[in-house]
């Protein structure tokens, strides 16, 4: 919990029927982790990467939900999407990165982003909806944290988080 960081975003979607919506979303947030929180205070690596993502998304409700289905005040849903991820890792200046062991990546980079998630949404009023879900993101890079092992496996990075969303329906 002490390593969680907020993400802020905007989602625009069109409900094609009571179960399916398609749209686009953009968000800004960060990924953070520190060796001190994982039993390695002497190494002192700190991961702090700013993320900007833009995705095309699809969302499927398991119960009829929306403008004309007031009797269903809540529904579980699944969500998937694909898009672009812009990221900028910043490395801890106080840590010692052994050049024979680590390849460092400074600056800003771009890759793809694939997401999948599930959650539950509740109607608060005619126009207001609150949802809570878990989302997992897979990236097309292995250096989201700003470094790779030179002689080790470097699989593509992924991150996940709990997402609380407020929606205002315009209809």
| CB burial of residue 166 (10 Å; 0-12, 13-18, 19+) | exposed
The pLDDT tens digits of the residues spanning 12-41 come to 999 899 899 999 999 999 999 898 888 888
Q: Distance between CA atoms of 30 and 171, rounded to whole angstroms?
A: 33
Question: What is residue 113's predicted lDDT score, i.e. its pLDDT?
Answer: 96
86's tokens: 């812009």
Q: Quote the pTM value.
A: 0.87
Q: Distance between CA atoms of 46 and 38, rounded to whole angstroms?
A: 11
Q: Which of 52, 57, 65, 61 is CA-nearest to residue 23? A: 57
Question: What is residue 85's predicted lDDT score, i.e. its pLDDT?
Answer: 97
Q: Which helix (H) or strand (E) holds 59?
A: strand 46-61
Q: Distance between CA atoms of 24 and 65, rounded to whole angstroms?
A: 20
Q: Distance between CA atoms of 61 and 78, rounded to whole angstroms?
A: 7
pLDDT by 10s per residue, the chain, length 171: 678 788 999 999 998 998 999 999 999 999 998 988 888 888 888 889 999 999 999 999 999 987 777 788 999 999 999 999 999 999 888 888 888 999 999 889 999 999 999 999 999 998 899 999 999 999 999 999 999 999 989 999 999 989 999 998 887
Taking the CB of residue 37, how many other CB atoms lie within 10 A of it?
Answer: 12
Question: What is residue 126's predicted lDDT score, i.e. its pLDDT?
Answer: 86
């Amino acid at each position: 919990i002490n390593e969680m960081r907020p993400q802020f975003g905007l989602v625009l979607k069109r409900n094609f029927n009571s179960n399916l919506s398609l749209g686009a979303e953009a968000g800004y947030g960060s990924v953070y982790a520190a060796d001190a929180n994982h039993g390695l205070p002497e190494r002192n690596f700190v991961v702090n990467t700013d993320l900007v993502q833009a995705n095309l998304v699809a969302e499927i409700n398991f119960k009829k939900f929306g403008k004309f289905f007031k009797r269903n005040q809540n529904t579980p849903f699944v969500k998937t999407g694909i898009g672009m991820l812009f990221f900028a890792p910043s490395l801890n200046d106080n840590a010692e990165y052994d050049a024979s062991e680590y390849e460092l990546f400074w600056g800003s980079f771009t890759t793809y982003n694939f997401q999948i998630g599930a959650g539950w949404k509740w109607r608060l009023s005619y126009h207001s909806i609150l949802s809570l879900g878990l989302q997992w993101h897979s990236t097309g890079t292995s250096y989201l944290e700003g470094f790779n092992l030179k002689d080790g496996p470097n699989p593509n990075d992924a991150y996940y988080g709990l997402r609380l969303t407020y929606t205002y329906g315009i209809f």
